[in-house]
């Protein structure tokens, strides 16, 4: 198979983890005979520095000409004081909107060998397996106005949580579709006791649920959901929620796996051009030190193999290699505790060797078959 992949490394640890994912995809190409061509584009702070724009037109064009997109992370203190349009995060929001990447899938799976890495009790997190379906192109991050203003002579600031009914329906339908292939339960998370947008969200959830009689729908207020995620995460199967609620709840959920550096995501569009990104940010506190955990990014690339290219076995191979390396006790600093940590590049190399070594074993077995 031949595929063109746009790689947008971004800022901070973005380039470090993106490099790791590219190497892993290279190993998969080598093992299975696929030709992946990687073409690089600028986004975020590095794009501001080079082009004066957090999402240059060239980057968008590159993405549109590609079969899938890998994105590292954007942002950092260097650009924190920039005016809003020159903030790296605007590049990320814009690419999501321009490519209509309306659904961000954030799966939370437990890793047996990482049970000790979480501050939570083993009995609570064991067997955790749920999916956060985060609406990604609407809600509080996109509503207008979003500005500094004056009201009654007083300085004020406003952000707007705006949803069109159809936008809610689209993400809700996807959540029900996904739940019907999982454990048939949707938890719709909102703040319907306060927000009008949430009351509409709830109505739509009830309406869509009628088409999926085999799926159980429950509603949960977001503050309670934040608590339930830590208290009893096994109760969840598919969570569907507003953009910012999903952003916050998924970072919280990463604690179940032991590190933010473990959670991948897929940002899906209706056009079939999807973007794959770890849920974490650019981690300026560890950037440039070869210290970041590349697994969230590597698992995002596995998701790309599965969902964009239909390469199920190849995706399984990446995920299995990650599990084997973790089972063998190898950890980056975020998970190493008092053990000796692997650097980013050592971790990538270990996963890569695991992928290629299995290949060697398969060939030897074939030779003797």
Ligand X SMILES: CC(C)CC(=O)C(=O)O
Report the phi/psi class of residue 309: left, alpha or beta, with left for phi > 0 and alpha for psi in -120 to 50: alpha
Stretch that binds Mg ion, among 7-15, 73-81, 247-255, 353-361 (CB under 5 A): 247-255
Q: Which of 67, 102, 111, 191 is catalytic?
A: 191
Q: Please give the residues from 132 up to 191 whose contact with ligand X meets the rule CB under 6 A.
A: 141
In the sheet that holds 238-241, the strands lie side by side as: 35-40, 2-10, 68-73, 275-276, 266-268, 103-109, 129-135, 238-241, 185-190, 216-221
Residue 286 interacts with which of Mg ion, ligand X, ligand NAI, none, CB < 5 to 8 Å by class: ligand NAI
**Known catalytic membership, residue 162:** no
Cβ atoms of 26 and 87 within 8 Å: the answer is no
Is residue 134 part of an annotated ligand binding site? yes
Per DSSP, the three-state class of 143 is strand
Please identify, using beta-carbon distances, which residue of 247 and 314 lies nearer to ligand X: 247
When asked if residue 23 is in the footprint of ligand X (CB under 6 A), the reply is no
Per DSSP, the three-state class of 351 is helix
Take residue 48 and report the two structure tokens written for it: 């501001």
Is residue 119 part of an annotated ligand binding site? no
Q: What is the largest CA-CA distance in the chain?
A: 84
Cβ of residue 354: shortest distance to Mg ion, in angstroms? 29
**Known catalytic membership, residue 366:** no
Is residue 57 part of an annotated ligand binding site? no
Is residue 251 part of an annotated ligand binding site? yes
Is residue 49 part of an annotated ligand binding site? no
Take residue 238 and report the two structure tokens written for it: 């598919």
Please identify, using beta-carbon distances, which residue of 76 and 139 lies nearer to ligand NAI: 76
Give bridge partners of residue 316 from the DSSP assignment: none
Q: Which of 141, 163, 276, 342 is catalytic?
A: 141
**Known catalytic membership, residue 152:** no
Stretch that binds Mg ion, among 132-140, 240-248, 286-294, 331-339 (CB under 5 A): 240-248
Cβ atoms of 44 and 91 within 8 Å: the answer is yes
Instruction: Give Cα separations from 36 to 121, 198, 227, 311 (angstroms).
Output: 42, 43, 42, 13
Q: Which of 111, 247, 276, 342 is catalytic?
A: 247
**Sign, CA torsion 342/18/90/137:** negative
* Rounded Cα–Cα distance for residues 208 and 173 (Å): 6
Number of residues interacting with Mg ion: please give it, by CB under 5 A. Answer: 1
**Known catalytic membership, residue 223:** yes
Which of 327, 321, 361 is closest to 117 using CA atoms? 327
* Rounded Cα–Cα distance for residues 336 and 356 (Å): 25
When asked if residue 247 is in the footprint of Mg ion (CB under 5 A), the reply is yes
Peptide bond into 145 cis (omega under 30): yes
When asked if residue 279 is in the footprint of ligand X (CB under 6 A), the reply is yes
**Known catalytic membership, residue 19:** no
Residue 138 interacts with which of ligand NAI, Mg ion, ligand X, none, CB < 5 to 8 Å by class: none
Is residue 152 part of an annotated ligand binding site? no
Among 1, 89, 97, 167, the residue binding ligand X under the rule CB under 6 A is 89
Is residue 232 part of an annotated ligand binding site? no
Binding-site entries: 76-89, 96, 106, 134, 223, 247, 251, 281-293
Q: Which residues are annotated as a binding site for substrate?
A: 96, 106, 134, 223
Residues designated as active site: 141, 191, 223, 247, 251
Binding residues for Mg(2+): 223, 247, 251
* Residues found near Mg ion in the complex (CB under 5 A): 247
**What are the residues binding ligand X (CB under 6 A)?**
89, 92, 141, 247, 279
């Amino acid at each position: 198979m031949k595929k063109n992949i746009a790689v947008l490394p971004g800022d901070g640890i973005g380039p470090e983890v993106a490099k790791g994912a590219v190497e892993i995809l290279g190993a998969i190409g080598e093992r299975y005979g696929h030709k992946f061509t990687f073409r690089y584009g600028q986004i975020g702070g590095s794009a501001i520095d080079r082009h004066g724009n957090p999402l240059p037109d060239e980057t968008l064009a590159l993405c549109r000409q590609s079969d899938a997109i890998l994105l590292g992370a954007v942002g950092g203190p260097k650009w924190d004081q920039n005016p809003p349009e020159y903030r790296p995060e605007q590049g990320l929001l814009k690419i999501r909107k321009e490519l209509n990447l309306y659904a961000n899938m954030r799966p939370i799976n437990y890793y047996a060998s990482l049970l000790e890495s979480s501050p939570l009790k083993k009995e609570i997190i064991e067997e955790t397996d749920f999916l956060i379906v985060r609406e990604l192109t609407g809600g509080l991050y996109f509503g207008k106005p979003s500005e500094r203003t004056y009201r009654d002579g007083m300085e004020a600031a406003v952000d707007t949580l705006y949803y069109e009914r159809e936008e809610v329906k689209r993400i809700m339908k996807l959540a029900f579709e996904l739940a019907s292939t999982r454990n048939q339960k949707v938890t719709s998370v909102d703040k319907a006791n306060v927000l009008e947008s949430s009351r509409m969200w709830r109505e739509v959830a009830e309406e869509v649920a009628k088409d999926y009689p085999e799926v159980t729908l429950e509603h949960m207020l977001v503050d309670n959901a934040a608590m339930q995620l830590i208290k009893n995460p096994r109760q969840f199967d598919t969570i569907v929620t507003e953009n910012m609620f999903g952003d916050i709840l998924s970072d919280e959920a990463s604690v179940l796996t032991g590190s933010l550096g473990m959670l991948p995501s897929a940002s899906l569009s209706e056009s079939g051009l999807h973007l794959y990104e770890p849920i974490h940010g650019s981690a300026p506190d560890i950037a440039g030190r070869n210290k970041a955990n590349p697994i969230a990014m590597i698992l995002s690339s596995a998701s790309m193999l599965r969902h964009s290219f239909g390469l199920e076995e190849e995706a399984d191979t990446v995920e299995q290699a990650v599990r084997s390396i973790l089972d063998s006790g190898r950890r980056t600093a975020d998970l190493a505790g008092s053990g000796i940590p692997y650097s980013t590049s050592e971790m990538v190399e270990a996963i890569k060797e695991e992928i290629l070594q299995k290949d060697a074993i398969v060939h030897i077995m074939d030779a003797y078959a």
